[in-house]
Chains A and B, each alone.
Chain A
Amino acid sequence: MNETLWLFAVSFGASALGGILGMASGIFIVPLLTIFGKIGFQEAIGASLISVIACSCAGAGTYLKARLTNYRLAMVLEVSTTLGALSGVALMGILSEKFLTFLFSFILFISAFQMFSNRRELAGKIPPHSKSWGSRLKLHGSYPDYFGKENHYYVHNLPLGVFLMYLAGTLSSLLGIGSGVLKIPAMDSALKLPIKVSSATSNFMIGVTAAAGAAAYFAEGKIVPSLTGPVVVGSVFGALLGAKVLVRFSSNKLRIAFIFILIALGIQMVISGLEKS
């Protein structure tokens, strides 16, 4: 029972804190479980993937209500993220745990850097060519602002976005994370979506990407119920609390604290990787 409470508390804390900054919890849950819980890498990834699905589904409602999610675009990008997830599942048996630990620490450092540098609005106001993929598949859209006025936006550079999403999907199933670290730059910079739309659409896609990886882990019997259960319950309630706090507090000081946490976890993962040799 003590272990169950510990798993619940860790996941609750990771998701609540992640939620405050609008991040998925996987990036905190996997290092915490492997470093402090001494849980195997693959078991931690399996549990984390289910918690990523849970948080994505729980959070998607708010964005859909606000009409910020571009589900047509999400569907197109999900082809490459799920293919990436499938590749990740195949690579899992080839890559060593040591390599994955180092890769995870690299992602933690990149996430810290992203959190340090603020996102810039790069949304394209000029419509792309009528023969572009975004136009052909009718992926351009609009969302209402605070006053209810419709803001139109256009989807650019779809092939580049699709390629980056493939990499994001691979990382997701290899490391048990939502891969916002790749999805956000892909959507902001390559596809040139408004920040609100890219956050909402990314959140919407994360669940499907994680489900593609989790389905293989589940079928292989790599998802341990006694570990995953408390992690998922803690993550859902933590994410709900985090989202409520996010609305009330300025997250600037927390952001700096989080940068240090991410760097500390990254260093800890490097040490853990070195110990595996």
Chain B
Amino acid sequence: MMKIDNYLEKFLVGSTWISTGIVTLGVLLSHDIVIKVGIAFFILIPFTRVLGLLISFIKTKDRSMAIVAGSVILIILSSFFIGLKH
């Protein structure tokens, strides 16, 4: 459990700084595409975090939690595709 805590902490902090760096660069250059890439990175951080936990649940054969994590991923993906259809 502690190992996962450590991985999650490093991933969340590191990816937040990378995304913030990209958005800052976009703001400084007044470049909308660069800002959009940074925003997409921000949306992907929680998604990737859930994906990482799904993999760890599958590895530890925690079936019920793997189903729970898989459901969260499906709901986020549905939200994206619902947005695309509008």
Residues of A within 8 A of B (CB): 4, 8, 50, 53-54, 56-58, 60-61, 64-65, 67, 69, 71-72, 75-76, 78-79, 82-83, 85-86, 89-90, 93, 136-137, 207-208, 210-220, 223, 225-226, 228-230, 232-233, 236
Contact = CB atoms under 8 A, between A and B. Distances in A.
Interface of A is mostly: helix
Interface residues of B, number: 50
Interface string B1-34: 0101110111011011001100110110010110
B64 A71 contact: no
Contact of B83 (A69, A208, A216, A228): A216
Given A57-B16, A58-B13, A229 B79 contact: no
A215 B20 contact: no
Given A208-B46, A220-B86, A232-B39, A54 B20 contact: yes
Given A215-B79, A216-B83, A71 B68 contact: no
Contacts of A60: 8-9, 12-13
A229 B26 contact: yes
Interface of B: 2, 4-6, 8-10, 12-13, 15-16, 19-20, 23-24, 26-27, 30, 32-33, 35-36, 38-40, 42-43, 45-47, 49-50, 53, 64-65, 68-69, 71-72, 75-84, 86
Contact of A82 (B12, B15, B76): B76
Contacts of B6: 64
